[in-house]
Structure 1
Amino acid sequence: MDTTGTLDEALQRLHSSGPERLGRLTNHAPMAVEALAARGQARGVHRWLDVYASKLEEFPSRVEPITTAGRRHALGDPRRAADWIDHFVREVAERPWRDVLALWWPRLLPGMYGGSTHPVIRVGHAVRTLLNGEPTEPRLTELAHGLGYWAARHRPVVVRRSPLPQDAAPAAALDAVTPIAERDGGFPARLERVTELPLWADAVTDPEDVRQRLTELVRAATHRYATHGHGDETMLVHAATAPNAVLRALPALPHDLWAPSLQAAWTASAAVTAMYAPDAPVAYTPPGSLTPEDVIEQALAHGDEHVVKLTDTALDFADEPALAAALRAIELSAPLR
């Protein structure tokens, strides 16, 4: 993890910005700078942020404080993003951050599909930082921003479930996902058309089995990007990064929350697959002699925020298909300008 103070400086720069821009597009900067710092690229964080800064908007206006009585009404209301962030800033200032996370995780988990899954991804990055380093004020504030964004974009998904063999590998389960028929429109419109998904790993309850299954899912989704990423070079990133955010949060959560977290993560990955999978896979180019360090440096030089985040997830495995997936994202995506 970054021990230079660069990450804290970057987060402080970012906390005067809102979680979105143009009313719907996510501010990826907090996630990307955390990924770069975590992967030994702290020296490039501020230069990257200088380029990305044109995509930032000011912190949104407040409506009214979140109250216990009004909480249910405010959940899922993007106009209340600032109110929710304020609420969680107070929460993490008054109680241990793990307690706040454990209290709110089961409340927010059913709605992790709003905001194109970006809120839970932002929380996953924040939790990784807190687990691996000191709970500094900027890092606690970042967790509050992530949780507040999640509450504001909270959106449940209800789908029918078609059975799969209980021992089905995650790659086979993702192959079994039926693509939606109409593929026009953005993420919210496509999500409305996801009405059925395979039921996978629903009987898994042992915490270590949950961790293993979730790890396998993230690996499979990452590998799949190498052969399927051309379906949508940006959105298919989330089939891997959303479940990985949940995986990264598991060590900070009580064990009784792990099994439902696996199911929510599977639903997110499968839904993204249904919405954006291409008609047919393609072969990937092996990374050859490139090392993980080479690949993250290429991702930083390219600059696209989704490339950076997928590369970060790929380096959790750093095998040939995972590195090929990161290189495929670099090939398919437009560089940050």
Structure 2
Amino acid sequence: MRTTDTTGILDEALQRLHRSGPERLGRLSNHAPMAVEALAAHGRAGSVHRWVDLYTSRLEEFPSAVEPVTAANWRAALGEPRRAADWIGHFGRETAERPWRDVLARWWPRLLPGLYGGATHPVIRVGHAVRTLLAGGGTGPRLTELAHGLGYWAARYRPVAGIAALPGAGGAAAALDAVPAVAVQDGGFPDRLARVTGLPVWAAEVATPEEAHRRLTELVRAATHRYATHGHGEPTMLVHAATAPNAVLRTLPALPRALWVPSLAAAWTASAAVTAMYAPRDPVARNPPGTTMTAEEVFERATAHGDEHVIKLADTALDVGDARALAAALRAVELSEPLA
């Protein structure tokens, strides 16, 4: 069940959260705007402020500005985390001066090659912001949230290069199965990403927007299903193998169709790279059963658990909508520590 929050609670929560920065401890993402959007989207607006109260200890103050980002200097500021406030201010001005879809269409191809920065959290945050804007919620706080997401993405912009094309597979599930795990699975996201040297070719022949949309939908479904059997490899980080491509999928309707094919390519690389970086040695079961619980019951369990990644995977599982996806969300509940 997806709803549009008409109570004003989501806007109130976003206003609270925009006083905080996009990260804490210099590397950990602020997940609160994404989680509260998911709660509101699935009829749990009444839980939003209580959830934010519990998460508040994980927030840091909004960072200090360094120098305004302009048309003349933006390339030099790309990928500079200390410029996060500058970038957020830039996109705040951009979204105040022109329609948000125009801003997104202009910057999406500029930012897409650097989707891998911030452990893919920036593009996920943008995907949540776009969903609520597409639902008709073009309020000030929601436009500001898009500015925060795009600004965070620009500040954490990180491209990947030198990844060899390995033999691929026909379907998304088989292609993810063919992803080789990195030899050394330790360290943080940037260290592990640097060890990804080859990924299977998948969907390289896609040439039309319609096929790109279909393939991206297939990828989100396959990555979500895979969490049920492989999520124990790293319960938090493997969530992103599904939620990052789903953020791209959610954004496609707001983008020019000419951008859909390159968006698929970037989303595949992100999902496959996360799979390589955190894959367990063995799955727990090759063909796990689904669940008889309803989508509403599964999301209610995720809400009660409270962990931000659990909420976001449940949100994606409800988009996929089948029993195996819902079972994956319940697996995340089982594997993850609840929000205290």
What interval of TM-score do these two structures reach, taking the shorter chain for normalisation? over 0.9
**Partner SS, residue 315 of structure 1:** helix
Q: How many residues align?
A: 335
TM-score, structure 2 as length reference: 0.97
Distance (whole Å) between structure 2 residues aligned to residue 288 and residue 72 of structure 1: 48
Residues 1:82 and 1:203: Cα distance change in structure 2 (over 3 Å): same
* Residue of structure 1 equivalent to 2:107: 104
Distance (whole Å) between structure 1 residues aligned to residue 144 and residue 5 of structure 2: 17
1:226–1:325 Cα contact (<8 Å) kept: yes
2:248–2:263 Cα contact (<8 Å) kept: yes
Q: Deviations over 1:97-150 (max 9, x none)?
A: 000000000000000000000000000000000001230000000000000000
Aligned-partner residue type, residue 16 of structure 1: R
Aligned-partner residue type, residue 212 of structure 2: V
Distance (whole Å) between structure 1 residues aligned to residue 279 and residue 291 of structure 2: 26
1:287–1:327 Cα contact (<8 Å) kept: no
Distance (whole Å) between structure 2 residues aligned to residue 298 and residue 286 of structure 1: 18
Q: Which of the numbers 314, 321, 325 marks the counterpart of 2:328?
A: 325
Q: Give structure 2 stretches of 5+ with no counterpart.
A: none
Q: Give structure 1 stretches of 5+ with no counterpart.
A: none
* Residue of structure 2 equivalent to 1:255: 257
* Residue of structure 2 equivalent to 1:214: 216
1:119–1:149 Cα contact (<8 Å) kept: yes
Q: Which of the numbers 205, 208, 212 marks the counterpart of 2:207?
A: 205
Q: CA RMSD in A?
A: 1.0
* Residue of structure 2 equivalent to 1:170: 172
**Partner SS, residue 319 of structure 2:** coil
Distance (whole Å) between structure 1 residues aligned to residue 247 and residue 237 of structure 2: 15
Aligned-partner residue type, residue 118 of structure 1: H
Distance (whole Å) between structure 1 residues aligned to residue 131 and residue 53 of structure 2: 24
* Residue of structure 1 equivalent to 2:164: 160
Q: Which of the numbers 290, 294, 318 marks the counterpart of 1:291?
A: 294
Q: Deviations over 1:229-274 (max 9, x none)?
A: 0000000000000000000000000011000000000000000000
Structure 1 stretch displaced more, 60-69 or 227-236: 60-69
- 1:190 has 2:192 as partner: yes
Superposition pairs for residues 4-23 of structure 1, below 5 Å? Answer: 4-23=7-26
Distance (whole Å) between structure 2 residues aligned to residue 130 and residue 177 of structure 1: 35
1:161–1:198 Cα contact (<8 Å) kept: yes
**Partner SS, residue 166 of structure 2:** strand
Distance (whole Å) between structure 1 residues aligned to residue 68 and residue 236 of structure 2: 35
TM-score, structure 1 as length reference: 0.98
Distance (whole Å) between structure 2 residues aligned to residue 230 and residue 246 of structure 1: 25
* Residue of structure 1 equivalent to 2:46: 43
Structure 1 stretch displaced more, 289-298 or 243-252: 289-298
**Partner SS, residue 316 of structure 1:** helix
Distance (whole Å) between structure 1 residues aligned to residue 288 and residue 20 of structure 2: 39
Distance (whole Å) between structure 2 residues aligned to residue 294 and residue 212 of structure 1: 28
Structure 1 stretch displaced more, 275-284 or 264-273: 275-284
- 1:63 has 2:75 as partner: no
**Partner SS, residue 197 of structure 1:** strand
- 1:305 has 2:308 as partner: yes
Identity fraction in percent: 74
Distance (whole Å) between structure 1 residues aligned to residue 128 and residue 207 of structure 2: 25
Distance (whole Å) between structure 1 residues aligned to residue 283 and residue 117 of structure 2: 28
Aligned-partner residue type, residue 115 of structure 2: M
Superposition pairs for residues 271-282 of structure 1, below 5 Å? Answer: 271-282=273-284
